[in-house]
Chains A and B, each alone.
Chain A
Amino acid sequence: MEKIGAGLETELRLGLPGGGGGGGGCEVEKNEKKRVFSEFCGEGEGKVAENKIEVVGWPPVAAYRRKNSGRFSGGGKMYVKVSMDGAPFLRKIDLSMHEGYSELVNALEQLFGCFGNIGETGEALKEEDECAYVPIYEDKDEDWMLLGDVPWQMFSETCKRLRIMKREDAANGFGLHAKDLLKGLSNED
């Protein structure tokens, strides 16, 4: 059930048509020149498997249309709250207006006026990174997750709210917790 995030190009291959008889679904061709959808292996009758592959530019719907049709059932808008550490009030952003993490981070930077300061995805926690902030989100299970680990579509369906956290807080997250713990312990002594 692989789902590759939008924006990553899959290696696509076509299988030869089944010679008359069954099993026409998909025979993976070893020939390097052929292209076959290995993931679309049919189940006997060659029915399309439930899992879909996201391929760059397929189906060929214009980028404008993709962004502007309600893509998700119910009409499309997916406003979530965004808080930024240090900002006096929260904002809201429509996730359905974006197609990927880079776009989202750009939009967040514009929203809060902190250009170049929000780390993109997992890279943000590296020491070398200059970005002052790390983007995290709260998912359906009420866990706080780092942005960027899962494919975009999965993220936009499970994200309930966003937080732009100061990097120091993110890096010291555990440290802080441990210090408190130690303080607590020493007080109890």
Chain B
Amino acid sequence: MCLFRDMMSYFPEEVLEHVFDFLTSHRDRNAVSLVCKSWYSLERFSREKVFIGNCYAVNPERLIARFPRVRSLTLKGKPHFADFNLVPHDWGGDVYPWIEAMTKNGINLEELRLKRMLVSDESLELLAKSFPNFKSLVLVSCEGFTTDGLAAIASNCRFLRELDLQENEVDDRKGHWLSCFPDSCTSLVSLNFACLKGEVNVAALERLVARCHNLRSLRVNHAVPLEALQKILVKAPQINDLGTGSFVHDPDSETSKKMKNTLENCKSVRSLSGFLDVNPHCLPAVYPICTDLTSLNLSYAPGIYSNELIKLICHCKKLERLWILDTIGDKGLGAVASTCKELQELRVFPSDLYGADNAAAVTEEGLVSISAGCPKLNSLLYFCQQMTNAALITVAKNCPNFIRFRLCTLNPVIPDAVTNLPLDEGFGAIVQSCKGLKRLSVSGRLTDQVFLYIGMYAEQLEMLSIAFAGDSDKGMLYVLNGCKKLKKLEIRDSPFGNAALLSDMGKYETMRSLWMSSCEVTYGACKTLAEKMPTLNVEIINEGEDQVEASSSPDARHRVEKMYLYRTLVGPRRDAPDFVWTL
């Protein structure tokens, strides 16, 4: 160690900093900062991008104290299961304190990326007015703001390059936020407002696009009709990521022909999405750009049937990423398998959530075809009607490179469709074959056995989602004991209880978080865990039928409906609403 230090001291700090510059991953930087005190110090002053996977693991003050030169901040708020309405809206994750603290401390913020956070208009206004060099705002699955907040961003951020709104719940005040971009704004590179519900000033959009010569990514919302998009694209032939709005017109009309010609001229488009409303007969207009397309997202496109999808996809030989609805059917997936040899990521979403039309869904057949035809496949999200162990075993053999594997059977406890056995063996094959697997979601009828396999083989697993699975505490124990790299574990409606929860409390310090809902853990066990582990926040969400009177202390044997625990450096959070108890 001494020798090492002496050697390192031959390098002046500037050189080390320069070396650190090449480290882009925050994990690498974290590792580097642990080497020795001088590296820690050097690294913290040179770090510009900070990633905080759980906004309650630290607080703004600590962020600023350690990384005073931070320019780009990524924050994540609510736990993942919040996406499925399992977490009340006002649970927390407000970005305001972060923005406020950075303002007060003279941070030169340029980029803010938020996921599942609460973002108010006040936050956006403060952001817009406080950071003169602000360049990039990316909001994913956030809520709490309106188009007024967007207007503040548009008006005040003079060097804005990126405004990317993905799947947010935005209250559309029908103001003219787009018109708030001043004429002097020419810096936009990426503009995505597909999730907005209201009207936009199409003329203002056209002018904005025309003056932003560096625009590479444009995703419009439902309110931008085909005619308007065509005119806009004439001004932006350099675009490489396009999200259409409403793609509806008479396919024989002049407008449709113009659209086809315009798209032929957009030779750089590599990513296509949108079609928030679509006349399938208009789809041929996009065939010219299909040849070089690497990413296609039709998962929000209603009413395109299998044949039309197949016709479109047959043009997309270079596709690497495909997001689609299960209306494509097994037959359509067969076509994908024959055409898209470069495919790496596939997501098949359910088109009908209430089971009225089962014919639309995909089965294990589609998945097997894909695995056979697309050997580069490494990321999967697959909602299916049914599955078999044999299919999963075949998939595991064909595609050993999975990094993300998420399977969701529409019936969460459906067994193997042929043998009626649990799907343990199938998932077991996946974890055994895919040595690089980092994320896994299991479904279907599953016993403790599948967790034995996961614990045994899934050495790189970082995130595991479990629902309606397992028989006993053993299942959860296999996972906690076996998966050394586990960071996030989320479990619902499974018979795991106190013995599993308390067996290795130190494990949770190595993880970001654990979510357990509708399991068998009791109030007493959660309290014990909280008492023994001061570096964890153990939160109980207390609401609905299960609600206990705040004044009375619940019985230790009382089953806890929703528990969320996470490691933290800063103790219990002070903004927890009434229904969240930190034990």
Given contacts A68-B300, A69-B300, A75-B302, contact A57 B84 (CB under 8 A): yes
Given contacts A45-B420, A64-B195, A69-B302, contact A57 B353 (CB under 8 A): no
A60–B299 touching, CB < 8 Å: no
Given contacts A14-B468, A18-B420, A33-B472, contact A69 B447 (CB under 8 A): no
A157 to chain B, nearest CB (A): 9
Interface membership of chain A positions 22-36, coded 1 if the CB is closer than 8 angstroms to chain B and 0 otherwise: 101100000001111
> Is A48 an interface position by the 8 A CB rule?
yes
A153–B383 touching, CB < 8 Å: no
Residues of chain A within 8 A of B413, CB atoms compared = 12, 14-15, 36-37, 40
Binds A, one of B5-13, B211-219, B487-495: B487-495
Given contacts A46-B420, A57-B81, A60-B467, contact A17 B415 (CB under 8 A): yes
A70–B303 touching, CB < 8 Å: yes
A26 to chain B, nearest CB (A): 9
Residues of chain A within 8 A of B492, CB atoms compared = 57
Q: Which residue of A lies closest to B354 (CB)?
A: A153
B167–A64 touching, CB < 8 Å: yes
Residues of chain A within 8 A of B167, CB atoms compared = 62, 64-65
Number of interface residues of B (CB under 8 A): 57
B354–A17 touching, CB < 8 Å: no
Bound together, the chains give a CA A103 to CA B85 distance in angstroms of 14
> Is B175 an interface position by the 8 A CB rule?
no
> Is B539 an interface position by the 8 A CB rule?
no
Bound together, the chains give a CA A155 to CA B285 distance in angstroms of 38
Residues of chain A within 8 A of B383, CB atoms compared = 59, 61
CB < 8 Å: which of B85, B195, B544 contacts A57?
B85
A76–B447 touching, CB < 8 Å: no
Q: Which residue of B lies closest to A97 (CB)?
A: B197
A100 to chain B, nearest CB (A): 10
Bound together, the chains give a CA A65 to CA B141 distance in angstroms of 10
Q: Which residue of B lies closest to A14 (CB)?
A: B413
Residues of chain B within 8 A of A34, CB atoms compared = 471, 495
Residues of chain B within 8 A of A65, CB atoms compared = 167, 299-300, 349
B422–A17 touching, CB < 8 Å: yes
B467–A58 touching, CB < 8 Å: yes
Bound together, the chains give a CA A48 to CA B447 distance in angstroms of 19
Interface membership of chain B positions 439-467, coded 1 if the CB is closer than 8 angstroms to chain A and 0 otherwise: 00100010100000000000000000101
Given contacts A17-B445, A24-B420, A58-B467, contact A12 B493 (CB under 8 A): yes
Bound together, the chains give a CA A117 to CA B405 distance in angstroms of 48
Residues of chain B within 8 A of A56, CB atoms compared = 84-86
11 contacts between A and B (CB under 8 A): A9-B518, A14-B445, A15-B445, A22-B420, A48-B411, A58-B412, A58-B467, A59-B408, A61-B350, A61-B353, A68-B276
Known: A12-B412, A24-B415. 19 other contacts (CB 8 A): A14-B469, A17-B445, A17-B447, A24-B420, A40-B411, A40-B414, A46-B420, A55-B412, A57-B492, A59-B353, A59-B383, A60-B408, A60-B467, A61-B84, A62-B84, A65-B167, A71-B353, A71-B354, A73-B352
